[in-house]
Amino acid sequence: MTDLYQTQRAMRNMRLAAMQRGVVAILDIGTSKIACLVLRFDGAEAYREPDGIGSLAGQSAFRVIGAATTRSRGVRFGEIDAMQETERAVRTAVQAAQKMANVRVDHVIACFSGAEPRSYGLAGEIELQDSTVSEHDVARVLASCEVPDFGEGREVLHAQPVNFALDHRASLADPRGQIGNRLACDMHLLTIDADAIENLLYCIKRCDMELAGIASSAYASGISSLVEDEQELGAACIDMGGGSTGLSIFIRKHMIYADSVRLGGDHVTQDISKGLQVSLNVAERIKTFYGGVVATGMDDREMIELGGDTGDWEHDRRTVSRSELIGIMRPRVEEILEEVRARLDGAGFEHLPSQQIVLTGGASQIPGLDGLAPKILGNNVRIGRPLRVQGLPQAATGAAFASCVGLSLFAAHPQDEWWDFEMPMDRYPARSLKRALKWFKDNW
C-alpha cells in the first residue's frame, strides 16, 4: 500500500503545484459526454489562510474561465473502453476549454463514475504516547486502521477519515491538540478497479497533461448537489449519468458510502432504439425532446414522427404516441431506481437520521421523475442541480454538470485524506530502515 501512498501524495503535490500556478483543468469523463472546465485560482482565498469555510462557501477561491463539452467516445459504464477514442474526445474537450480560457493547462483533476467502486468502513485505535493528540498521532491512528482484503487489482481511490473518537468522546472533527489517552478513528475507504486508474493515467498522459488528482464522480456530485445541511444531517446523492448511476451517502459533511449501478440514461436510449426500431441518435433525440415517465391522457394523442432515411415510405413515416414512448422508458427508469434502492438498503441508508435523497446527473432531467422517484426511493426526494460557481457558462449549469462542479469544489477544498498525513515511521518499509541502520554501523 506504500505504492499507492506515494502515488496519491505525488498527485497531491502536483495539485498544490497547479494551485500555485493558478490554473487547473477539471475533467469529467462520462459515458455520454466528456466535460472540461478550466479553473483559475486567484480569488481572495488564494492570498489568505483558509479560515473556516471562507467567503461564498469557499467558491470565491476559483473562477471557471473555460468550459467545453464533447460527446464521449470509447467510454462504457463510466470506464475507458477504447483508449484511442477516449483520448480523442478528451483532446477535443480540453482543446476547446483551453481555447476559451486562452491559457495552457498542464494539470488535470479527473473523475469518472465506473470501475465498480466499493466502500469499506475502517476502524483504528491507538494509545496516545503523549496525552496531547498531535498530527503524528493522527497519522498513526489512520495507519492503524485494519485494511480489509479488497482483492487483487483494486486500488484505493479515497481514504478519508470521517470520524475521530478520543476516549469516550466520539464524532470529533479534528482531534489535534486535544487531551486524552485513546484515539480511535473511522475511515471510509473507496476502492476501484486498478485498471481503470491505469487507463485514465495513460490516457491523460497521452494528452500531454498530468493527473493532479482523481475522484469518484459520485462523490463529486454529492459535494455540489447536496446543500450544506443535507451533507451535515445525512443524505444520498444519486448521480444518474449516461452509462452508470453513482450514489454517495453523506453525513456530517463526510462521504461514508459510495457505489455505482451500471445502468444509466444510455440504457433508456437503447431501449427506445430497440423498441421503436430507430437508430441510437434518433432515439436519443426522441428521448430528450419527448421523453417522460408519467403518462397522461394527453400523451395518447401526441404523435411523434420517428423519421428515417431508408427510402421505404412506410418505414420512414412511422409515428408513435408519446405514451408508447413513456411505456418504453418507464420500466427502465424504474429498474435503475430500484437498483439504487437496493444499494441504499444494502448500505443501511434507512438507519440514517435523515432520509433525504437528491437526484442529479443528466438522466435526472426526465420529466416526471420527481413523481416516479418518491414511489421507489421514499418521500424525501428532490431533483438537485449543482451549486452555481463563478464564471460557469449557463450551458454548463445543468444537472448533467454536477460532478464537474463538484470536482471544482473538491479541487478548491480537498478533503483530508489518509495520505495527507505523514506516514508514521513504523509503516515505512523495514528494508530502508535496516539500510539506514547499516549505514550508521558502517560509518560510526
Q: To the nearest whole angstrom, how small is the minimum distance from the Cβ of residue 204 to other proteins?
A: 13
Please select the residue that binds other proteins; options are 130, 146, 152, 208, rule is CB under 8 A. 208
Cell, residue 267: 440504457
* CB of 316 or CB of 426, closer to other proteins: 316
- What are the Cα distances from residue 189, in Å, to 120, 122, 216, 418, 440? 5, 7, 12, 9, 38
Contact status: 51 vs other proteins (CB under 8 A): no
Contact status: 188 vs other proteins (CB under 8 A): no
* CB of 48 or CB of 104, closer to other proteins: 104
Please select the residue that binds other proteins; options are 35, 75, 80, 89, rule is CB under 8 A. 89
Task: Give Rg (Cα) of the chain.
Answer: 24
Q: To the nearest whole angstrom, how small is the minimum distance from the Cβ of residue 308 to other proteins?
A: 14
Cell, residue 278: 430507430
Contact status: 279 vs other proteins (CB under 8 A): no
Q: To the nearest whole angstrom, how small is the minimum distance from the Cβ of residue 38 to other proteins?
A: 11
Q: To the nearest whole angstrom, how small is the minimum distance from the Cβ of residue 64 to other proteins?
A: 17
Q: To the nearest whole angstrom, how small is the minimum distance from the Cβ of residue 220 to other proteins?
A: 25
* Contact stretch for other proteins (CB under 8 A) within 93-101, 134-142, 269-277, 430-438: 93-101
Contact status: 92 vs other proteins (CB under 8 A): yes
Contact status: 103 vs other proteins (CB under 8 A): yes
Interactions with other proteins, residue window 217-246 (CB under 8 A): none
Contact status: 76 vs other proteins (CB under 8 A): no
* Contact stretch for other proteins (CB under 8 A) within 99-107, 231-239, 259-267, 326-334: 99-107
Contact status: 70 vs other proteins (CB under 8 A): yes
Q: To the nearest whole angstrom, how small is the minimum distance from the Cβ of residue 318 to other proteins?
A: 22
Contact status: 21 vs other proteins (CB under 8 A): no
CB atoms within 10 A of CB 80: 23
Cell, residue 203: 490516457
Dihedral over Cα of 131, 136, 141, 144: its sign: negative
Contact status: 98 vs other proteins (CB under 8 A): yes
Q: To the nearest whole angstrom, how small is the minimum distance from the Cβ of residue 211 to other proteins?
A: 16
Please select the residue that binds other proteins; options are 7, 55, 95, 323, rule is CB under 8 A. 95
Q: To the nearest whole angstrom, how small is the minimum distance from the Cβ of residue 42 to other proteins?
A: 16
Q: 269 Cβ partners below 8 Å, 6+ apart?
A: 280, 283, 284, 287
Please select the residue that binds other proteins; options are 48, 82, 104, 274, rule is CB under 8 A. 104
Please select the residue that binds other proteins; options are 20, 102, 432, 443, rule is CB under 8 A. 102
Contact 54/45 with Cβ under 8 angstroms? yes
Contact status: 388 vs other proteins (CB under 8 A): no
* Contact stretch for other proteins (CB under 8 A) within 1-9, 203-211, 402-410, 434-442: 203-211
Please select the residue that binds other proteins; options are 94, 240, 326, 405, rule is CB under 8 A. 94
* Contact stretch for other proteins (CB under 8 A) within 42-50, 89-97, 321-329, 372-380: 89-97
Number of amino acids touching other proteins (CB under 8 A): 16
Q: To the nearest whole angstrom, how small is the minimum distance from the Cβ of residue 178 to other proteins?
A: 48
Contact status: 207 vs other proteins (CB under 8 A): yes
Write out the residues near other proteins by the rule CB under 8 A. Answer: 70, 73, 88-89, 91-92, 94-95, 98-99, 102-104, 206-208
